[in-house]
Structure 1
């Protein structure tokens, strides 16, 4: 099978790897679409992502969807041919396409990938696999909105309108926000954010806005009762993301470029280029 493998910084290849086989409790997925994430770009550019450093070649990709191609012993309730997306967190604490552990956890940018049955999320009949590949980043966005607690009837500002920011716009609207404003330093992502549901957009790099770092004093945080919360990946919001897409949350405006698997190097170059105007760049990993 073909797979998109990063061997070192600036060394991305489409390699031929052995076909995997589903064992007890596992499902074989024929991957069809994969979305390029910032961590994929970081492994390609730097040979690392955050504190995770490449020690061996790594199959990239954790935003994936396809159809079931095989079912291992002990797995019930699934059928070959069903369209699915995949929760990329593994039972051992790994994450698809991550070098945080050794051995690394290979991702899903391959024609075939074996996963645990509990990682499978069925796609509704009105969500194709191209859009299903965005369930994972939408889950990240929905988790961020959930961390902000109840946004119903509230006015929300999303700072940064890249793919995750634009999905946060959609997730906040889906959660009942009264208005959502997106801010960025470039017009291209703001256009995408607007198409994803932003009521207003602000280019903070234009006009008379200061464009410099502003101190956040502890006194202001206390007297204005401002709460700062971190948000990292998600727990099981991917289930909610699939349901939301089935109920009409449209991620189509975010998808700007699609490339076949053999053009993975070009795809990741476009995704990394701030001047390309790209939103979410997809790889077609197989027939779909």
Structure 2
């Protein structure tokens, strides 16, 4: 399939149910007036994609029908939006996958990531589901598209979306220049947070993980020291000014609390399972720790793209594997093995 001609069907990665992932032909509708047609080049496999494939659900978002996965994508505009908005044909773009939405519940207007009616590409949070963009060609609202700065390749921009999640998390930590930072969980988001912390001038960055491969990636991205997750005594001695909890595990949150200096701040970006979770709240109280949440991002993707273009943000080491789209199942199996992989990319470019 040519990536520069319009078609009525395309190849997509679709989750049908738990354990049922298919690469199949899907129909492509004509784009709406405010939509552009995009030839996807690369897609990063996210933890939520893995959950839909492995469990048929991501948290409380349960698959009720087959859904195209994917929200970490970059590509090229092959048909601009008919209403004249957005980039022109031939423009390489990254994608901001969120659509803020209102339900009547209050939230800070300057933080649309918290809008309770927000939808996200490749999400089963609502029904009908919000289809993702793991396909060779997709129609996307022009407002989602971010033109890549001159000189920034699609491959180098492929991690812009998860890097924006990490950038937002680090921004929630406050001033980091000259500070000691601790990152719990060196998977893709934790690894990218390390790169953002390095760019921001953190004096020390200590990474924690269960496995050596993520710690190796962490060192390549800027960690000045690494610790094994089971070395709780060493973690407790770190006394970090800021902690990024990216493991999404209550044991990781416990390590974050223990590893923070008195009066420090812990940013919780790793999404713990729904429901009640054990936590060292008494220790957080007596140390006057600030525990703050971090959810997705707002406009940080624009800052990420600028930093990638000027070379001040170096994140390529986070990518460990690439697979062509027809090997999507192997790619998902690889991404699921966090002991041996970092970020895994799907290559949607036509042969």
Q: Give the TM-score category using the shorter length.
A: over 0.9
Name the residue aligned to 1:260.
Answer: 324
Q: Structure 2 unaligned runs (5+)?
A: 1-9, 102-117, 237-250, 259-278
1:30-62 deviations in whole A, cap 9, x for unaligned?
101000010000000000000000001010001
Name the residue aligned to 1:279.
Answer: 342
The root-mean-square deviation of aligned C-alpha atoms, in Å, is 2.1
Instruction: Tell me which of 47, 51, 57 is aligned to 1:48.
Output: 57
User: TM-score under structure 1 normalisation?
Assistant: 0.93
Instruction: Tell me which of 85, 88, 95 is aligned to 1:79.
Output: 88
1:216-235 deviations in whole A, cap 9, x for unaligned?
65454334221011111111
Give the drift of 1:19. Answer: 2.4
Give the drift of 1:29. Answer: 0.9
| Structure 1: distance between partners of 2:175 and 2:89 | 39
Instruction: Tell me which of 190, 195, 205 is aligned to 1:170.
Output: 195
Instruction: Please list, as runs of the form range in 1=range in 2, the aligned pairs for 1:143-222 lying within 5 A after superposition.
Output: 143-205=168-230, 218-222=281-285
Instruction: Please list, as runs of the form range in 1=range in 2, the aligned pairs for 1:90-129 lying within 5 A after superposition.
Output: 90-92=99-101, 93-129=118-154
Instruction: Tell me which of 291, 302, 311 is aligned to 1:239.
Output: 302
1:173-223 deviations in whole A, cap 9, x for unaligned?
122212211111111100001111111111233697599867865454334
| Structure 2: distance between partners of 1:82 and 1:5 | 27
1:61-82 deviations in whole A, cap 9, x for unaligned?
0100010010122124622111
Asked if 2 retains the 8 angstrom alpha-carbon contact of 1:143 and 1:234, the reply is yes
SS of the counterpart of 1:114?
strand
Give the drift of 1:96. Answer: 0.6
SS of the counterpart of 1:188?
helix
Give the drift of 1:22. Answer: 2.4
User: TM-score under structure 2 normalisation?
Assistant: 0.77
Name the residue aligned to 2:14.
Answer: 5
| Structure 2: distance between partners of 1:200 and 1:123 | 33
Asked if 2 retains the 8 angstrom alpha-carbon contact of 1:8 and 1:44, the reply is yes
Give the drift of 1:91. Answer: 4.9
Q: Structure 1 unaligned runs (5+)?
A: none
Number of residue equivalences? 287
| Structure 1: distance between partners of 2:235 and 2:198 | 28
Asked if 2 retains the 8 angstrom alpha-carbon contact of 1:20 and 1:112, the reply is no
Name the residue aligned to 1:18.
Answer: 27
Give the drift of 1:287. Answer: 4.3
In structure 2, relative to structure 1, the CA distance for the partners of 1:45 and 1:202 (3 Å cut) is same
| Structure 1: distance between partners of 2:213 and 2:87 | 41
| Structure 2: distance between partners of 1:108 and 1:209 | 42
The structure, 1 or 2, with the larger RCO (C-alpha pairs under 8 Å, 6+ apart) is 1
